[in-house]
Structure 1
Amino acid sequence: MNLPNRLTLLRVLLVPLFVAVAYWQVPYGARLAGALFLLAALTDGLDGYLARKRRMVTRLGKLMDPLADKLLVCAALVSLVEMHRLPGWVAMIIIGRELAVTGLRSFLSREGEVLEASLTAKLKTACQVVALAALFWQESPFSWHDPTPANLALMAALLLTLLSGWDYFRRGWAVIKKGGY
């Protein structure tokens, strides 16, 4: 197993650890969970960079990397909802978009078509990571009326989630119409 795939595996293994820490009722437990989440998220950028730079892209990596990303984000969202720091409907919008886009990309992939990640999708991911880590560190729950950095980052992440989802389906529909699926 090459280094990028090991980093992806590390990201998967960090998920249950940060979730467990998030549920500890100890001082600074949520902040430690946020730090572990951020560490796991940073492996995403690093594994992709190394895989491309060293030409170590593998089929396993292509499969596991996006799954590890979805697992990480979904675990953070569910943890934050359980901790009463995030409304459930916000988590469901983000999780729903992730599942829908994954389904669309999987369908098109089986048909030999590839929908590359857009700049908006990459910005969405970065914004989600910042927002979710910040929500672990923020003592108060998310609020539309409280312009804390964590809340503003989450609002931006939610907007980018919707925009990038719309963009994927717009591009995907064009491929579907062209191919006669």
Structure 2
Amino acid sequence: MISIRMKDAFSTPNLITYSRILFIPVFVVFLLIDIPYRNYIAAIIFIILSLSDALDGYIARKTRQITGIGKIIDPIADKLLISAALIFLIGRIQLWMAVVIIVREIAITVLRLFFLPKKVIISASYLGKIKTIIQIIAILAVILNVPFNWWLMLIAVIITVISGFDYLLKVGKLAGENIINIPNIITTFRLLLIPLYIINLIQSNINLALVLFAVVILLDKVDGISARITKQITKFGRLYDAFTDSILIISSYIAFYLIGFLEFFWILLFIVPTLAIIISKITYYMKLREVPSSALGKTIVGIAYVAVIAVAIDFIYSLHILIFGTIFLYIYGIMDVHKSQKIKKIKNHH
């Protein structure tokens, strides 16, 4: 276990990592713009950004600047680069391959954030590093249209899944909880269905999108029931479930805006209290090592589900449901922030 020392945040290796993150949009631009040799330019930028990962690691070891924060942001930077490449290469990469890799990366990132309050860092394993190298090679092959790039992507997917399970086993030992259990597997399946739901929503396959949305909601109830029946209720499971709910609702609102079902005004109205709630829950967890849950919070999620369905089917009272849900969301947000502030004051007093 390694404690996180924020004073090391701006060491030379970490500055290189920050630069890698900042240059990801530049790489994406060259993937998208229509200019001669764009694939070669994008490939060169991708190689440079990927090599910077090895460079910051070498400098950290050579100068003895290996830090807790570095062990967190370095793999996250890798995940951002890989995920951005996969998202903007969909079409040249099969959708299911991109979804499997991205969902795995999101899940692992959530795990890293989950362990932050415990001051525990799980650094990348050799299998994780091999996974990253294979992903880089496969993505380069796709960018440069190498004939056997599909097979390289398939290998990358397989190694990605295997390394994900290896990571979960390590996390389970550190957490003292059984991370790989039936409820969390169901939640992972929910997370995998969300991109498919959003894609169908954006492509105006409303009926199929609603079926997928209904399945995701149903599985939300199933994982809760299975957790209680099998007595596998864990802190991580609660956080993972809440995270999946948030992704489902937020992505739905964004998709509705993209296809013209909602004005951007609604996105802003929704994001403000949502961010406040997320921050307050993180504060709550960091102080009490517990994931807060309440009947009002579950009610808000239920109303959000109803609002999504109402907007999708163009229900005559969808505007009223949105207004009603937004008011409740702001009330819940204010209560949540107030609760986290009280906890903060009590902790500071002690």
State the TM-score, normalized to the length of structure 1: 0.83
Residues 98 and 178 (structure 1), Cα distance of their counterparts in 2 relative to 1, 3 Å cut = closer
Tell me what 1:10 maps to: 19
Tell me what 1:99 maps to: 106
How many residues are paired up?
171
- Equivalent residue of 2:176, what SS? helix
User: How far did 1:107 drift?
Assistant: 2.0
Tell me what 2:46 maps to: 37
Q: Distance in 1 between matches of 2:134 and 2:143?
A: 14
User: How far did 1:112 drift?
Assistant: 4.2
Give the one of 64, 67, 70 matched to 1:61. Answer: 70
| Greater alpha carbon shift after TM alignment, 54-63 vs 15-24 | 54-63
User: How far did 1:27 drift?
Assistant: 2.3
Structure 2 gaps of 5+ residues are: 1-9, 179-233, 236-350
Identity %: 36
Could you list the per-position Cα deviations for residues 16-47 of structure 1 after superposition, in whole angstroms to 9, with x for gaps in the alignment? Answer: 11111111112221221122111101101110
- Equivalent residue of 1:85, what SS? coil
Tell me what 1:159 maps to: 158
User: How far did 1:57 drift?
Assistant: 2.6
Residues 115 and 62 (structure 1), Cα distance of their counterparts in 2 relative to 1, 3 Å cut = closer
Structure 1 gaps of 5+ residues are: 140-147
Q: Distance in 2 between matches of 1:56 and 1:3?
A: 8
Asked whether the equivalents of residues 4 and 61 of structure 1 are also in contact (C-alpha less than 8 Å), the reply is yes
Residue 28 in 1 paired to residue 37 in 2? yes
Residues 58 and 170 (structure 1), Cα distance of their counterparts in 2 relative to 1, 3 Å cut = closer
User: How far did 1:59 drift?
Assistant: 4.8
Residues 130 and 71 (structure 1), Cα distance of their counterparts in 2 relative to 1, 3 Å cut = same
- Does 1 or 2 have the higher relative contact order (CA < 8 Å, sep 6+)? 1
Residue 121 in 1 paired to residue 157 in 2? no
Superposition RMSD in Å: 2.3
Q: Distance in 1 between matches of 2:114 and 2:155?
A: 29
What pairs with 1:128-139 in structure 2 (closer than 5 Å)?
128-138=135-145
Q: Distance in 1 between matches of 2:128 and 2:75?
A: 13
Residues 90 and 106 (structure 1), Cα distance of their counterparts in 2 relative to 1, 3 Å cut = same
Bigger Cα Rg: 2
| Greater alpha carbon shift after TM alignment, 25-34 vs 37-46 | 25-34
Tell me what 1:145 maps to: none
Residues 175 and 57 (structure 1), Cα distance of their counterparts in 2 relative to 1, 3 Å cut = closer
